[in-house]
Amino acid sequence: MSSRVFFIIGLLALLVFDTFAQVCFKFTALHAAPLTFDLPWLLRALSTPWVYCSILGYLCAFVTYMTMLRRIPVGPAFAAAHLEVVGVLVISVPLFGEVLSVLQYLGAVLILAGVFCLAYGESNRNPGGMAVEGH
Amino acid sequence: MSTVTIVLLWLINLVTDTGGQLAFKAAAIENREAQGWAHWRHMLGRPWIYIGAIAYIFEFVAWLAFLSTVTLAEGVLLGMAGIVTVMVGGRLWFKERLTRPRTIGISLILAGVALVGLGGGA
């Protein structure tokens, strides 16, 4: 698998896990509201299944990210991980009825364009034998 | 809160964020041969992944403190600064090349994060 394909697959997996975790986190916060930062609030948060879905999502995202870092340089990987911002932004419209501004749509497009550039910047060749991940 | 405190929170945030990312990278590439479970066993037996995790706990606390004292714009700016310092850190520590697609890609993401962060509240 070339670094470019590896990068794209990794990012898509990261996007799914990260967005899932964030959405579950939001449901947890809604369930535990009002935000009082005390023991009853913590107990309310821990009594909903959403918080455990969120933790599971973050764990999967972490494993994905660590696997990506084996081959992808950390500078581009960290920058590209901000694709999650787009995922959360887009899904918050149907799920939480949030209204996005034109500037936010433009920002999402710029992040996508940046991620495409970073993917294009990764080698299109298959490294012969050296630590090929994903098997 | 005084300016000194805010600057200090800024620095703690930036150092822990960047340090955490670089430590995770160091953990990921330390053993190039091991695959799958063997690779995870190796990573969990070495300090780097824990250094990264501790840095992230500190960052989380510093971020909460930071957000309660500064404006959203300053918070977004901090997030953008992290992208740049991780890139520079990767260049210095791991000799990552700053090719043209990478520089352009990271610049676009910086601009996008700024617009998403500051363009809210429509």
Nearest to A71 by CA among B32, B83, B100: B32
Closest-CA distance, B114 to chain A, in angstroms, reads: 7
Q: With an 8 Å Cβ cutoff, are B120 and A104 in contact?
A: yes
* Phi, psi for B118 (deg, rounded to 5): -95, -15
For residue B72, the SS3 value is helix
- In the prediction, which pLDDT does A29 show? 87
For A30-47, the pLDDT digits (tens) are 888 887 778 888 899 899
Is A129 a member of any domain?
no
Q: How far from A135 is each of A11, A12, B18, B28, B35, CA to CA, in Å?
A: 17, 17, 30, 16, 8
Q: What does the alpha-carbon distance between residue A130 and residue B3 come to, in Å, rounded to a whole number?
A: 50
10-residue mean pLDDT profile of chain A (135 residues): values are 93 95 90 84 91 95 95 95 91 89 95 96 70 37
Domain that holds residue A81: 3-121
DSSP string, chain A: --HHHHHHHHHHHHHHHHHHHHHHHHHHHHHH-S---SHHHHHHHHTSHHHHHHHHHHHHHHHHHHHHHTTS-HHHHHHHTTHHHHHHHHHHHHHH-----HHHHHHHHHHHHHHHHHHHHS--SPPSSTT----
Is A126 a member of any domain?
no
B78 interfacial to chain A (CB closer than 8 Å): no
Is A133 a member of any domain?
no
- Whole-number average pLDDT of chain B: 90
- In the prediction, which pLDDT does A81 show? 95
Is A59 a member of any domain?
yes
Q: What does the alpha-carbon distance between residue B104 and residue A115 come to, in Å, rounded to a whole number?
A: 10
- In the prediction, which pLDDT does A127 show? 63
CA torsion, ordered A93, A97, A98, A101, to nearest 10 deg: 70
- Identify whether A34 is preceded by a cis peptide bond (ω within 30 of 0): yes
Tokens coding A106: 């433009």
Is A7 a member of any domain?
yes
- In the prediction, which pLDDT does A125 show? 77
B89 interfacial to chain A (CB closer than 8 Å): yes
B117 interfacial to chain A (CB closer than 8 Å): yes
Q: How many domains is chain A built from? A: 1
- In the prediction, which pLDDT does B122 show? 45
Is A98 a member of any domain?
yes
Identity at A75, one-letter amino acid code: G
For residue B70, the SS3 value is coil
Q: How far apart are the two ends of chain A, measured CA to CA in Å?
A: 10
Is A26 a member of any domain?
yes
Q: How many CB pairs under 8 A join A and B?
A: 148
Q: What does the alpha-carbon distance between residue B57 and residue A127 come to, in Å, rounded to a whole number?
A: 36
Tokens coding A135: 């098997």
Tokens coding B36: 């799958």
Complex ipTM, two decimals? 0.90
A129 interfacial to chain B (CB closer than 8 Å): no
For B65-92, the pLDDT digits (tens) are 877 777 777 888 888 999 999 999 999 9
Is A38 a member of any domain?
yes
Q: What does the alpha-carbon distance between residue B78 and residue B76 come to, in Å, rounded to a whole number?
A: 5
Tokens coding A86: 């787009």
10-residue mean pLDDT profile of chain B (122 residues): values are 82 94 96 89 94 92 79 83 96 95 96 90 50
